[in-house]
Structure 1
């Protein structure tokens, strides 16, 4: 069964949750009208990197975001990989993903594990400790966030459960887009999976973000590159393609984890 995926490459308004929720609502409505099965949002879309202001901006226990995404998924019958949002939980702040099925069921959540010091995440956020493996639109899947991309051992740890699609929302600066593309293609090839990565565009006080949201197939071929402008891009993937890739080269079966330290 082929799956149509919408990539919401948005400009995020720094420290303006109301504007950002409105932008995301429009994106989901548009994607549903185009008959997308799944929409993927960028990282930290509710606040951007307004980290010093999280005490007033972060979503308490993620309740507003969860209710918002649940209602839209259910109303429009669309799966949502909710990028990530800044939340407050037990007096700590997290960079958190929520994943909803087309019926509005919360099927996955994830706190970003690897915090990016260059954007001061380690000063304001608490690192997650759990993986996010789930089924969406009938496909075994997993999700990560931005800097996690640079840790192939973490991606493999989660992908080994059988994930066929790896989702990665990001706020990735334009200056490092060449590395972004190389690593996304590498994660696809080495895990024999589709990779769906959604980056933001626009600027905050310290960064210019590069877009180039991508869908990469299990052989490393880029199926969609959204370029540098704000848009919703679309790709159709066929999970049956994985059988032809995984059969001849069974990398997960051939692993020697007792040697990996």
Structure 2
């Protein structure tokens, strides 16, 4: 499975600009014929303009139509990062996943909302994990702050996934945490982690997205990584050798050796 991660340059509150940038970079990404293209968290708005409800897509209809059309046009699976979605008056931080035919395969509402930034006051939290299949490969979803909860990522891993997709809007100030946590989740769960962060100009507001998107294998090896200073954005790519997951788990079988009676 070949993965392309679009490390999008995100402009706060400028949905039209962000959408155009995404479409331009997606058109470039598909020239290398990836199986899956991945976008960052809140790529269309930034993290995040207020009041967020003003920027939220009603029932996700607009974004679903756009991303479905693009997935079908390029015949590529798209993990469409996340966007703010207004459902019945509540705003969710929602990820949509589309297959090569443009069909909506799955959706995920971010479970752990980043309370230090007040996300828990402006968004409604999701309450379930999301597992889906792309091209026969079992995948799971988490968003940004979710990665700080290893018990939650382990719960997803126990569903037997091969790949965890992790869109984020992670700040440059804590990019070391991002690098460490994404590798740790890959190593301890012996799965591939595809972590897609945005990038932003430090002169464009107080929240500076730190880049460092990464594609990580089950040994914790970084197969591809974005920079933290390319404000034009970039595309990182890697091919996942899915067969190594079984080899690694046969070598160090942490799932068999778990003490389920204790934790």
- Check whether TM > 0.5: yes
CA distance in 2, matches of 1:108, 1:28: 20
**Structure 1 segments unaligned to the other structure (5+ residues):** none
Identify the residue that residue 257 of structure 2 maps to in structure 1: 254
**Residue number among 227, 243, 246 corresponding to 2:246 in the alignment:** 243
Identify the residue that residue 143 of structure 1 maps to in structure 2: 141
Q: Post-superposition shift, 1:153?
A: 0.3
Q: Deviation string for 1:61-85 (max 9, x for gaps)?
A: 0111111111111110111011000
CA distance in 2, matches of 1:110, 1:249: 31
**Residue number among 73, 76, 79 corresponding to 2:74 in the alignment:** 76
TM-score (norm 2): 0.95
Identify the residue that residue 165 of structure 1 maps to in structure 2: 163
1:224 aligned to 2:229?
no
CA distance in 1, matches of 2:260, 2:69: 42
1:213 aligned to 2:213?
yes
Q: Deviation string for 1:106-149 (max 9, x for gaps)?
A: 11110000010222201100010011101112211101000001
CA distance in 1, matches of 2:260, 2:49: 38
Does the CA-based 8 Å contact 2:12-2:49 persist in structure 1?
Answer: no
Does the CA-based 8 Å contact 2:97-2:104 persist in structure 1?
Answer: yes
1:103 aligned to 2:97?
no
> Which structure 2 residues correspond to residues 28-47 of structure 1 after superposition, within 5 A?
28-47=26-45
Does the CA-based 8 Å contact 2:146-2:153 persist in structure 1?
Answer: yes
CA distance in 2, matches of 1:37, 1:175: 32
SS of equivalent residue, structure 1 residue 68: helix
**Structure 2 segments unaligned to the other structure (5+ residues):** none
TM-score (norm 1): 0.95
SS of equivalent residue, structure 2 residue 256: coil
Does the CA-based 8 Å contact 1:51-1:124 persist in structure 2?
Answer: no
CA distance in 2, matches of 1:84, 1:255: 33
SS of equivalent residue, structure 2 residue 164: strand
Q: Post-superposition shift, 1:100?
A: 0.7
CA distance in 2, matches of 1:51, 1:227: 25
SS of equivalent residue, structure 2 residue 237: strand
Does the CA-based 8 Å contact 2:200-2:209 persist in structure 1?
Answer: yes
SS of equivalent residue, structure 2 residue 167: strand
Q: How many residues align?
A: 258
CA distance in 2, matches of 1:16, 1:234: 27
Does the CA-based 8 Å contact 1:201-1:210 persist in structure 2?
Answer: yes
**Residue number among 114, 120, 141 corresponding to 1:122 in the alignment:** 120
Q: Deviation string for 1:31-68 (max 9, x for gaps)?
A: 11221111100000111123423232110001111111
